[in-house]
Structure formats: structure tokens, C-alpha cells
Chains A and B, each alone.
Chain A
Amino acid sequence: MRNKNIQFSFLVIMMLASMVACKKEEYVIPDPVSQLTNDCIKRTIGPSIVSLPLEFAYAMAIPKSSGKLVSAQVEASIAGASGTYLEHRSFFTNASGVDVPVLVGSPSVTVDKTTKMTYSVDTSAATLRYYYVIPEEARGQSVSFTFSVTSSDGKTASYKMGPYTISRMSIRRNLAVSNGVNAFISIEDMAVYNAAAAAPISGKIDLVYLFRAAPTTFTHALVSPGADAAYLPGVVLPSGVNRSTKLRKVFNLQDRNLANLQFGIYVDDVDLKNVDMVDMPNYAIGLRAEAGVWVETADKKYRAYIYINSINPAGTAVISMLRYTL
């Protein structure tokens, strides 16, 4: 009898548990905005590289009965480089998915770490874009932001973003190289030189760009000055240009920043730090558009990723590079 009672109780508990578990939680309508409110998202994805902007969208609103927006400002933990600004236009997305600007204030003013925009129209809601150009001082450090808005009723709301780690990489885009002319590439300078300009800085020249139609597999090439003469046919190196740089060919690694915002792949610090360059050759021939090469300089001071933006059968190419100091 006692066992039966226990079994019955257990059954009842189980049923109750099932009912509770299946109970549907009612949707609760959120409270409408009753005071000055703000929100923020970071729109930029991928590594944060010095000289490139970080983009944020800062939204703010106040009930019409409480007043209007007066000003918005952003304070960065490290002052942004030239070009940092807070939009004085608010954007909305139309039915076609296009962001349409509406003028809401005067152009922002940046003083040291703070960028401020004052509203010139009577508005109670806006979304402003903030573009923070990453300065050299932020390289390898963390940067954070405090967004804030002030309303006509004297209230202030703020929103913190970050911290974001700034990459140690440097970027240089769209360098034109040409066979026999602007053919000498320096990773340290992230620049391309002709023979006359390369001679005085021979210790900085890491690669030679050349184009040979034959053999058909040679075509566009990046060759270290210290490579076997077979890979530098007909090339006259300026005096002292003799570094042996390691190269590793890559295909299908179209970094978005290097490829002028095409594709969705990013090369980050960790990639350049960890790429295996042991026993790699000192030449890369048969390069094609959208291919790339990992590079390690002879003194092991730098690693780089060189992306081939475009090639031309006339013996020219456009390259972009990311450089990481080891």
C-alpha cells in the first residue's frame, strides 16, 4: 500500500513538472522609450589596421514630449588620426536598401580625443556614423570609445564601446610595378623603386618584380635578388642589391582590405605571425591576379603578405601588401 502511494505521488509530480515545462511564456510588450536613450554598433569587421577607419553607428532618441537632441560626442581613449569625424547627417535605409542621409547638424569638430557634433535641426531621434581613423600611436594597443548624447532637458546618455585591439600590421595598397622599371620592392619601406632609386638603399630591397613571356609558366614573378640567376633572366641588379627573401605562394587568399573591399577574407596578425616559412624558396613565379605570396625578409625583421590586385601581359602589375614586424 505504501509503495502504491509513493508511485502515485511520483506520477503526480512528474505530470506537474511536464505541465510547468510546457507552459508558454507570454510575450511582454517592451516599455516605450521614456527617457533619453542610446545604442551603438561597430560596423567595421576584420582587423583594425593603422590608417584605416573604424566605423560605428550611434543611435539616440528621446520622447518628443521630453525635448530634443542637442549634441552628440565621442571620446576615444587614443586621439584619432586626421580624418576622424562624427557624421552630421543621420541615415535611414530606404525600401531599396540604400542608406539615405538627412542633414541634422553642423560638421563635427575634433579636439584631441573628443569629436563633437551639434544638432541644428529639431529632432528627437538620429543615427550618426562615427569614423575613427586609427593613428600610429594606437598600433598594438587597445582603444575604446565613449559615445554620449545630450538633450534639451539637460539629460545625458552614454554608451561604451571596446576595447578593440589594434593590429600591428601596416597596409599599403595599389602599388604599380613594371618589368624593368619600377621593379624593386622594399618591404621595410612598403614601396616600389626603379633601379636608380634602389641603388642607394640596396640593403632595403627585398624583391624584384619581373615578367617573362617564356617559359609560359614564368610570366609575372616576384623574385628575391639573392635567388638563382635562372629566376632572374636578363635582370641587372643595382650594386649591393642581393638580399635573399623567402616567399611562399598562396592562392584564394583575397584579403578584403588589400583587394579594395572585395571578398570576405581577412589576413590578421596571427596569420603573419604563424605562417610556416621554413625551407621556403626565394622566388615565386607564375603569379596570377588575386594570388598572393607570404614574404619573410632576409633579416627576419618583417613578414608580409603581398596580394596581386591585377596583372597586365605588357609586363605590369598592381600589388598591395600587409606588413608585420616580427
Chain B
Amino acid sequence: MAKYYKIALSILMISAIIISCKKDSPVDEDGLLITFRQECFVSNFELLGADFVSVRSKTAVIDTVAQTIDVEVLFGTDLKNVYPQFSLATDCKLDPKITGKTDLSNLASPKVYTVVSGNRKIRKAYKLNIKFQ
């Protein structure tokens, strides 16, 4: 009888090990799910000031072919302390990541943000052009 218990226990243990080691889905270096999606674009852009209120004077123009974002900001906007917000196609991610306030004051050298598709195989670099009202 004890022999059967041992066999059953061994089978259960092996099954548990197999199940626990099985990789469900691939994830990237950020722990995000890598999917089959190939879409790779910016769908919307917002720019907030230090008070978390929008500093845009009009809607940002996103050119997904030329891969540019043109945004006009209000007079007096302090571009050293702004919070850019990107809306991306499903499963995409942004590189570099936006982790807090960002310095976009160097208008002569527009910052470039790269959109990475859901399958992590397509990368599109968007140039962020800012001008004052």
C-alpha cells in the first residue's frame, strides 16, 4: 500500500515541477508580454506642465509616415519641467521610458522617442518638435 502512495506522490511531484517550469508566454526585459502585433505608431500626444495641466496651445500633429510629433506650447512654458505623455498602438512600448519630469528645453536638438511594436521586432523613432506659441 505504501508503495502505491510513494509512486502517486512521485508522479504528483514530477507533474508539479513540469507545470511550474513551463513558460506560459514570452516576456521582454521589462517583464512585458511579447505579442504577435506588428502595429507601431503614436496615436496621441500630451504635454503637461509642472502643475500637471496641459501646456499645449493646440492639438499635437502626429505624422506617422514622417515619424514626427509637432507640438506648440503656451507662452512662458517651462520646458525644463514637463511631463510628456504618449498614447501608443496596442502592446507597443516607448524607448526611452518616461519616468518623471523631463527636460525638453533644448529646442535645437529635438528629443527622439522610439516606439517598439508588440512583437518587439519593429522600432520607429519619432522626433518631438516643440515650438512656442
| Interface, chain A (partner B; CB < 8 A) | 215, 217-218, 231, 248-251, 279-281, 283, 285-286, 291
In chain B between 11 and 69, which residues have their CB closer than 8 angstroms to a CB of chain A? Answer: 49-53, 57
Q: Please, could you name 28 A-B residue pairs with CB atoms under 8 Å apart, sorted by A?
A: A215-B75, A215-B133, A217-B57, A217-B74, A217-B75, A217-B76, A218-B76, A231-B76, A248-B51, A248-B81, A249-B49, A249-B50, A249-B51, A249-B53, A250-B50, A250-B51, A251-B51, A251-B52, A251-B53, A279-B103, A280-B81, A281-B78, A281-B80, A281-B81, A285-B75, A285-B76, A286-B74, A286-B76
Q: Chain A residues near B57 (CB, 8 Å)?
A: 217
Q: Chain B residues near A281 (CB, 8 Å)?
A: 78, 80-81
Known pairs A215-B75, A249-B50. 17 more at Cβ < 8 A?
A217-B57, A217-B75, A217-B76, A217-B133, A218-B75, A248-B50, A248-B51, A249-B49, A250-B51, A251-B51, A251-B53, A279-B81, A280-B78, A280-B81, A283-B76, A286-B76, A291-B51
Q: Chain B residues near A286 (CB, 8 Å)?
A: 74, 76
| Interface, chain B (partner A; CB < 8 A) | 49-53, 57, 74-76, 78, 80-81, 103, 133
Measured CA separation A285–B78 after assembly (Å): 10
Minimum CB–CB distance from B52 to chain A (whole Å) comes to 7
Q: Which chain A residue has the least Cβ–Cβ distance from B105? A: A279
Q: Chain A residues near B50 (CB, 8 Å)?
A: 248-250, 280
Measured CA separation A264–B76 after assembly (Å): 31
Minimum CB–CB distance from A290 to chain B (whole Å) comes to 12
Q: Chain A residues near B78 (CB, 8 Å)?
A: 280-281
